[in-house]
Structure 1
Amino acid sequence: MQEYAPKIFYTYIPSNSGVKKAIKQGRVLIDGVIAKTATWVKPDQIIELIDDPNKQPKVYKFNLEVIFEDDHIAVINKPAGITVSGNKFKTIANALSYNLKKSQQLDALTIPTPVHRLDNQTSGILLVAKTKTAQIELGKQFKNQTIKKQYSAIVIGKIIKTETIDLPIDNKPSITNFEVVKSFHSLKYDILSLIKAFPKTGRTHQIRIHMASINRPILGDKLYGNPETIHKGKGLFLCASKIIFEHPKTSLQTTIKINLPQKFTSIITREERRWNNYNS
């Protein structure tokens, strides 16, 4: 049985012992008949794997904005304030099967899987694999740093030029390029700046740490910002706004981008209006 077991089994059962266990549980069928460990598989026979009824996926019925979806991948717009994955029930990972269509590919994942992370308080583009092939191929692209990501952020203080920060994080090389989109006056903060940030490495909290290191913390950052200038009520002003990657099936360069979150445009409009009214 093991000699002929198709590779597709290892999408769901990643070890020989797991395959044997599934056979003993009667969850492997050969042409509709329950297989035994001694069953020989012949060419052109149909092998089926029955889902383990004791391992039903958790489904969090939470509506997500699906930006793009096909049979291999999906891209969602993650809202701020929810964790991508982990031990909690209310996660993006547990909400994906509620929002995405089941892949019809042979190597379809039982549960769609995010291939990278965003901080709980960070919103924006999240790339999801729907097949094992997509999961592996996108994982390689992240490892090889061929996936390009762009973030938008509002930081406290004025930024006048494009810069690169190469401050190590946890003794590991960490590089972030950023450029200013616009700076605007604020009665509370004096000046705020809307920037684009391009992380070249993927350290935890990298953009937040790097911007705080040059005394330009991201607005709403309670962890790395100045406690005296914390913006309360609207969370962290950091959004994953663009991603460029190679589609794992077609190999075509794929670009996904979103508009600035409404809270970004609202605070820019409000702060500029207040400043103008005060100085008129």
Structure 2
Amino acid sequence: MVENLEIKPKVFEYDFEVIYEDEHIAAINKPAGITVSGNKFKTVFNALPYNLKKSKAPDALYKPTPLHRLDNQTSGILLVAKTKTAQIELGKQFSNHTIQKKYCTIVIGKVHASQLINTPIENKLAETNFEIIKVEKSLKYNYLTCLKVFPKTGRTHQIRIHLASIGHPILGDKLYGNSKTLYKGKGLFLCASEISFLHPKTFKTIHLKIETPTKFISFLNREKRRWNTYNV
């Protein structure tokens, strides 16, 4: 007689910073360079059981499941469902665009005014707001602008496409920029820095925020120092 053996999930032993966790949901700080899910073994999805406690709720999912996408090269807050209720309720909030996400990014050039970009993507409605945080002079790029970005919709590569469409591609964007926009070895300068939503069980507002990545600050400071050194 063949015994029924419990099939254990694939677990990728990779450490994440866990920003928030309870029985129903969790949020992690995803590093750049790792894919959220897919056919590969080394994904966020396969690393979640290594980082999160198993839910004791009656409708606990077999494995914690990411609720949205972040590009491989994008870092920042990723929301995760640990129960079926959370998966359904937060899925509705994403569909209804009631979850508010904010990103921090550095783009090439001097952006002159905060604005709304609503150019359709693949014939679908797409809206991205942004405001200017800081403009720095740069020897290589002439100017760099740090932005806070508020996407209302969630189309694939939306922020990258929209910013490139107004002539300000994101620093390090290989797909929508060009060879001049790359900064060797530093990846894409885009981070999901804040998220607000209603908890799927208590329906209280949850607001999560992380610090701007060190590489953003150090890069802008470096460019400022180089400009001041060589333009005295």
TM-score band (shorter)?
over 0.9
Q: How does 1:76-225 map to 2 (within 5 A)?
A: 76-225=28-177
- Alignment counterpart, residue 255 of structure 1, candidates 194, 207, 213: 207
Structure 1 position 273 matched with structure 2 position 225: yes
Residue identity opposite 1:211 in structure 2? L
Name the CA distance, whole Å, in 2 between partners of 1:117 and 1:244: 16
Name the CA distance, whole Å, in 2 between partners of 1:173 and 1:67: 31
Contact 2:37–2:45, Cα closer than 8 Å, also in 1: yes
- Cα deviation for residue 231 of structure 1 reads 1.8
Name the CA distance, whole Å, in 1 between partners of 2:203 and 2:137: 45
* Match of residue 227 from structure 1: 179
Residue identity opposite 2:129 in structure 1? N
Give deviations 1:110-152, integer Å, cap 9, x for gaps: 1100000100000000000111111110001001110000010
Q: CA RMSD in A?
A: 1.3
Residue identity opposite 1:136 in structure 2? I
Name the CA distance, whole Å, in 2 between partners of 1:226 and 1:254: 38
Q: Is there any run of 5+ residues in structure 1 with no aligned partner, and where?
A: 1-24, 28-51
Contact 2:170–2:181, Cα closer than 8 Å, also in 1: no
Q: How does 1:6-85 map to 2 (within 5 A)?
A: 53=6, 55-85=7-37
Name the CA distance, whole Å, in 2 between partners of 1:153 and 1:142: 22
Q: Is there any run of 5+ residues in structure 2 with no aligned partner, and where?
A: none
Residue identity opposite 1:144 in structure 2? N
Give deviations 1:204-251, integer Å, cap 9, x for gaps: 000000000011000000000022332221000000000000001110
Give deviations 1:142-170, integer Å, cap 9, x for gaps: 01110000010000011122101111111
SS of equivalent residue, structure 1 residue 267: helix
- Cα deviation for residue 90 of structure 1 reads 0.0
SS of equivalent residue, structure 1 residue 259: coil
Name the CA distance, whole Å, in 2 between partners of 1:230 and 1:95: 29
Name the CA distance, whole Å, in 1 between partners of 2:125 and 2:3: 50
The TM-score, its normalising length taken from structure 1, stands at 0.80
Between 1 and 2, higher relative CO (CA 8 Å, sep ≥ 6) is seen in 2
Q: Which structure has the larger Rg?
A: 1
| Equivalent residues, number | 231
Name the CA distance, whole Å, in 1 between partners of 2:111 and 2:193: 20
- More deviation, 223-232/132-141: 223-232
Contact 2:135–2:146, Cα closer than 8 Å, also in 1: yes
SS of equivalent residue, structure 1 residue 67: strand
Residue identity opposite 1:57 in structure 2? P
Name the CA distance, whole Å, in 1 between partners of 2:3 and 2:87: 29
SS of equivalent residue, structure 1 residue 211: helix
Give deviations 1:227-276, integer Å, cap 9, x for gaps: 23322210000000000000011100110011100110110110111111
